[in-house]
């Protein structure tokens, strides 16, 4: 875009990045760009103006010399000054705190001009940082760490540290901090909050998978339709949630109570370059398997490029995380509050079974292991067992999914 360009309703003005997606800021009217206040492609802070628009093209020239004035606070600026060095009353040998000693020895800092401000004249890490900032201490010079002083050393008042340690060179150059994306910061905060505040209860069950795999082959051969195991798992879970609405309840932290059952909207975990996101398959109990398949593909595709709308990844009454395609047999998933449950789905495993009644030869069968993580405040052991039993039945007899 450039000054003087015309914009119509629906044209993208900028991109807004949230913690989970990137959305376009669209124009709502027919306007003209009078002045660009931000460089194209640059990031701007919330509240910072990016452009000036006018309704008539002839008004564009009136803003040729316009400059945005940043908002200023009427409050006076606080001046931060370095603390005054404390003067020791006795000429004593230098003593160091453990952190200060490690710092001066690892970076070979000359401490001859440093005066300790901690109790008993001890040199603290803050003292070292302040003197590096002021230039009285130099990195890479000979270290002077004399013997501890006598007990008669005077006490010197403690100085306040105003230096940001991150501005100093790293103590160990072999390591580098990698900043997290906004999404990963939110994921870390929410998962830590979930594990520390939600009482997780776990229940595991194995489901016979052979009938479901045979049904997939029928879909592919007779209807030329590719339905994945994950699509059928979503459908089976949705039907079990339909039959057992109490599992669809959520914990209301504000009131300390349980909510009414929510609709059968299932959140499906999708890995993206910036972190995990959970698009919502709404009304999954009423959708057909092919509809679920196309919906998941479409949502997952837009999730990986950060183009989901907020309503497409917010809400849901139940989550499913499937790592079976990566060869993971079983795992424990962390609940996504305020939801009460998440189902961790592993890979199908073939097993040799002993001969059945009247048979002389052993047989093989494929089993799917799933683990339910439940909020014990909402879903107790008995309710979790009933849900898994219903889910197991739909997976073992998948024709009932199509009814």
SS3 (DSSP) at 24 = strand
pLDDT at position 92 is 47
pLDDT of residue 402: 79
User: Using CA atoms, how far apart are residues 109 and 101, in angstroms rounded to an integer?
Assistant: 10
Q: Which one, of 222, 346, 339, lies nearest residue 280 by Cα?
A: 339
Decide if 31 contacts 54 (C-beta within 8 A). yes
- Count Cβ atoms below 10 Å from residue 279 Cβ, excluding itself: 23
Can you give the pLDDT at residue 89? 36
Output the pLDDT for position 101. Answer: 86
Q: Are 333 and 204 in contact (CB under 8 A)?
A: no
Residues of the chain with pLDDT under 70: 18-22, 41, 68-92, 141-173
Taking the C-alpha atoms of residue 338 and residue 259, their distance in angstroms, rounded to an integer, is 10
What residues form DSSP beta bridges with 373?
Answer: 202, 342
Bridge-based pairing of strands 251-252 and 270-272 is: unpaired
Triad 367, 368, 372: Cα angle to 5° = 140
Query: Can you name the CATH fold of 198-402?
Result: Chloramphenicol Acetyltransferase (3.30.559)
How many Å is the Cα radius of gyration of the chain? 32
- Which pair of tokens denotes residue 134? 């002021």
pLDDT of residue 102: 85
3-class DSSP assignment, residue 75: coil
Nearest one of 203, 336, 198 to 280, comparing CA atoms: 336
At 134, is the secondary structure helix, strand, or coil? helix
pTM: 0.64
> What is residue 97's predicted lDDT score, i.e. its pLDDT?
87
pLDDT for res 36: 82
Dihedrals φ, ψ of 12, to 5°?
A: -80, 125
- CATH 3.30.559.10 placement within the chain: 198-402
Q: Quickly list H helices, 283-380.
A: 289-303
């Amino acid at each position: 875009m450039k000054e003087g360009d015309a914009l119509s309703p629906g044209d993208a003005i900028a991109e807004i990045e949230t913690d989970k997606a990137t959305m376009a800021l669209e124009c709502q009217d027919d306007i003209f760009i009078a002045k660009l206040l931000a460089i194209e492609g640059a990031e701007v802070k919330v509240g910072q103006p990016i452009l000036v628009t006018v309704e008539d093209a002839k008004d564009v020239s009136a803003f040729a010399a316009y400059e945005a004035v940043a908002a200023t606070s009427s409050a006076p600026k606080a001046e931060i000054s370095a603390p005054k060095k404390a003067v020791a009353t006795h000429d004593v040998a230098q003593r160091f705190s453990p952190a200060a000693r490690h710092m001066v020895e690892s970076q070979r800092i000359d401490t001859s001009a440093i005066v300790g401000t901690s109790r008993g004249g001890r040199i603290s890490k803050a003292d070292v940082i302040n003197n590096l900032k002021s230039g009285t201490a130099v990195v890479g010079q000979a270290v002077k760490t004399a013997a501890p002083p006598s007990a008669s050393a005077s006490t010197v008042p403690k100085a306040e540290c105003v230096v940001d340690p991150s501005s100093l060179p790293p103590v160990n150059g072999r390591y580098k901090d990698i900043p997290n994306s906004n999404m990963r910061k939110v994921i870390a905060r929410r998962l830590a909050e979930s594990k520390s505040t939600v009482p997780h209860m776990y229940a595991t069950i194995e489901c016979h998978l052979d009938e479901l795999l045979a049904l997939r082959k029928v879909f592919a051969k007779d209807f030329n339709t590719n339905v994945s195991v994950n699509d059928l798992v979503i459908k089976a879970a949705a039907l079990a949630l339909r039959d057992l609405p109490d599992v669809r309840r959520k914990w209301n932290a504000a009131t300390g109570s349980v909510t009414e059952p929510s609709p059968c909207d299932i959140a499906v975990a999708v890995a993206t370059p910036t972190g995990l996101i959970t698009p919502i398959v709404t009304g999954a109990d009423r959708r057909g398997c092919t509809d679920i398949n196309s919906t998941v593909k479409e949502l997952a595709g837009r999730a990986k490029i950060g183009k989901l709308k907020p309503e497409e990844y917010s809400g849901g009454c139940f989550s499913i995380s499937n790592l079976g395609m990566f060869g993971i047999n079983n795992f424990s998933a962390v609940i996504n509050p305020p939801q009460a449950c998440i189902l961790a789905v592993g890979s199908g495993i073939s097993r040799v079974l002993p001969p059945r009644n009247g048979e002389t030869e052993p047989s093989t069968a494929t089993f799917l292991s799933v683990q339910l993580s439940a909020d014990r405040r909402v879903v107790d052991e008995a309710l979790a067992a009933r849900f898994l039993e219903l889910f197991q039945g739909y997976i073992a007899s998948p024709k009932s999914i199509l009814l």
